[in-house]
A = this chain, B = another copy of it.
């Protein structure tokens, strides 16, 4: 499909790293031209409520409500309901704040009333005043399963309950084969002037999105350049177990390792100054590369990284993606 009109950007997103990039991206791309496709592989049910950690991290961040220090949940939240659940002998390792529960109650009630996750997410987005379109990767359930030496567990069990202590043998996306991309998702990729892979875990954040039939294929055949922001800084990730996971699954946690994972659709990569040494090799492999400080420790740094992504995309597509 031919792109036309004003440039549109689509971003494949996990949690915190993606949210920080998007915090900058929304300063540069008007909401109506930005579509965020969010991982739902680590959605889970706690106390009967449907929790979508990545959707919430992104919407809370873009609405300025996120607890950026904790990295998830809402600012100034309290944990009174959870303490009471503990009194009833329920497991409380997944920290659900009281304000946060309002979101999960809203979502769960509407899902039980047969609304789609897309529709609920859109209502949530509007209520929180977020301008960008936010799509779950699918309205069908896909669950990321982590296999370690001692067995299989849900992603939240692995990450939060067990604190990602065990080495990972394999990652599976249960339900992915039967899942359909959310409505409008494939069209958003087809109509995009730029597709961005956020600096998120390639296996448990971006991997589930790519496992939904049709999405990876759409990126491959897209007219738009596909630019990844590396979540790695000198062989380590800022947050989360992506570096160890890459190693455990046979990938070197360096930009070329990441490029190999996304190789079939990737056109460019934004990497950190610490990984400058890999730029030439990535370019040799045909990728456009931008090198800068990628640590998005402030809104200003988020905007700088987002700008680098858009500039790299502009170079690739020979079309200015930056609003004047």
Is the contact region of chain A dominated by helix, strand, or loop, or is it mixed? helix
Cβ contacts A33-54/B at 8 Å (1 or 0 each): 0000000000000011100000
Q: Does A118 contact B (CB under 8 A)?
A: no
Q: How far, in whole Å, are A5 and B291 apart by their CA atoms in the complex?
A: 85
Q: Please tell me if the beta carbons of A81 and B109 are within 8 angstroms of each other in the complex.
A: no
Name the distance in Å between A77's Cβ and chain B's nearest Cβ. Answer: 7
Name the distance in Å between A85's Cβ and chain B's nearest Cβ. Answer: 5
Q: Please tell me if the beta carbons of B108 and A88 are within 8 angstroms of each other in the complex.
A: no
Q: How far, in whole Å, are A100 and B83 apart by their CA atoms in the complex?
A: 10
Known: A88-B123, A127-B89, A128-B87. A49 touches B81 (CB 8 A): no
Max count, chain B CB within 10 A of own CB: residue among A81, A89, A106, A127: A81
Q: Please tell me if the beta carbons of A106 and B90 are within 8 angstroms of each other in the complex.
A: yes
Name the distance in Å between A182's Cβ and chain B's nearest Cβ. Answer: 20
Interface size of A by Cβ–Cβ distance < 8 Å?
A: 32
Cβ of A82: which chain B residues have Cβ within 8 Å of it? 102
Max count, chain B CB within 10 A of own CB: residue among A100, A105, A106: A105
Q: Please tell me if the beta carbons of A101 and B84 are within 8 angstroms of each other in the complex.
A: yes
Cβ of A114: which chain B residues have Cβ within 8 Å of it? none
Copies per complex?
2
Q: How far, in whole Å, are A89 and B126 apart by their CA atoms in the complex?
A: 11
Q: Does A154 contact B (CB under 8 A)?
A: no
Q: Does A319 contact B (CB under 8 A)?
A: no
Cβ contacts A62-101/B at 8 Å (1 or 0 each): 0000000000001001101111110111100000011111
Nearest B residue to A45 by beta-carbon distance? Answer: B109
Cβ of A49: which chain B residues have Cβ within 8 Å of it? 105
Cβ contacts A134-152/B at 8 Å (1 or 0 each): 0000000000000000000
Which residues 257-279 of A sit at the B interface, judged by CB distance below 8 A?
none
Q: Does A237 contact B (CB under 8 A)?
A: no
Q: Please tell me if the beta carbons of B84 and A99 are within 8 angstroms of each other in the complex.
A: yes
Q: Does A124 contact B (CB under 8 A)?
A: yes
A-B contact pairs, 14 of them (CB 8 A): A74-B84, A77-B80, A78-B78, A78-B80, A81-B98, A81-B99, A81-B102, A81-B105, A84-B99, A85-B102, A85-B105, A88-B127, A89-B123, A98-B101
Please name 5 further chain A to chain B contacts, defined as beta carbons within 8 Å, in addition to the given A48-B112, A80-B102, sorted by A numbering.
Answer: A48-B108, A80-B98, A87-B127, A88-B103, A88-B123
The residues of A with any CB-CB pair to B shorter than 8 Å are 47-49, 74, 77-78, 80-85, 87-90, 97-103, 105-106, 108-109, 112, 123-124, 127-128
